[in-house]
Amino acid sequence: MRLRNITGAQEIIQKCGYVINNPEAAKGHWSQIFGNENPVHIEVGMGKGRFLIDMAQTHARINYIGIEMYDSVLLRAVQRVTSLENPPGNFRFIRMDAKALTNVFEKGEIEKIYLNFSDPWPKDRHAKRRLTSRQFLECYRQTLLPKQTVEFKTDNKDLFLFSLQEIKECHWILDACTSDLHEDETMNRGNIMTEYEEKFSLEGNPIFKLIAHYE
């Protein structure tokens, strides 16, 4: 998702108390940013922030960090927070390309990584930009706590099959997998919908989901 450039977006983002403007300085110190030792869960490719904020409102004892590459998209998440009467304190946003994740998180600083409806990058030559490519899996391995999981949802079958293949080739363990999340009682329990998930499922598309960890 890339929205039209919006004048003043950068300034609004920088002034928002929920945005961490110099995330490299927080590496190894995320508990100080949140003021507690609660686990940190991140969403890579957060988009407009609906999932992240809903998760933060639902799970008060988890700290959430949403990572988004574009100012124009992050601005929408910031506007969503501003419109809330009582925003929770357990989330933050970062504007960055997730390929620099290891500059921002120490090994073991993240307990869970969510990837929701990641851009499919259908051309083979762009495969390494997919957020489930081996290059990104390596970033996740280097920042996750041992044996903790990546959870990935998509409506895109080709991207899902690619992801299963990458996981296998990189020696990750597949913990759970479904090709129709909303019909899978076990995997759908507690599911919080993302913006894209709602749109695609209303169009009648099944949602794929996998959960995996590095052994």
Instruction: Please check if 54 is assigned to a binding site.
Output: no
Sole residue written with tokens 């990750």:
172
Beta-strand runs (E) in the chain? 40-44, 63-68, 91-95, 110-116, 144-154, 172-178, 208-214
User: Which chain residues interact with ligand SAM by CB under 6 A?
Assistant: 1, 44-47, 67-70, 73, 97-99, 116-119, 131, 194-197
Structure tokens at 181: 């999340």
Please say whether the beta carbons of 126 and 47 come within 8 A: no
Query: From the CB of 199, what's the least distance to ligand SAM, in Å?
Result: 8
Cα-based angle 205, 208, 214 (whole degrees, multiple of 5):
165
Instruction: Please check if 18 is assigned to a binding site.
Output: no
Cα-based angle 23, 28, 30 (whole degrees, multiple of 5):
60
**Which of residues 120 and 164 has its CB atom nearest to ligand SAM in the complex?**
120
Catalytic residue, candidates 71, 119, 124, 158:
119
Instruction: Please check if 197 is assigned to a binding site.
Output: yes
Query: From the CB of 98, what's the least distance to ligand SAM, in Å?
Result: 4
Query: From the CB of 151, what's the least distance to ligand SAM, in Å?
Result: 12
Count CB-CB contacts under 10 A for residue 206: 15
Query: From the CB of 159, what's the least distance to ligand SAM, in Å?
Result: 11
Q: Is 124 a catalytic residue?
A: no
Instruction: Please check if 158 is assigned to a binding site.
Output: no
**Which of residues 109 and 151 has its CB atom nearest to ligand SAM in the complex?**
151
Please say whether the beta carbons of 118 and 154 come within 8 A: yes
Which residues are known binding-site members for S-adenosyl-L-methionine? Answer: 43, 68, 97, 119
Q: Which residues are catalytic?
A: 119
Which positions make up the binding site?
43, 68, 97, 119, 123, 155, 194-197
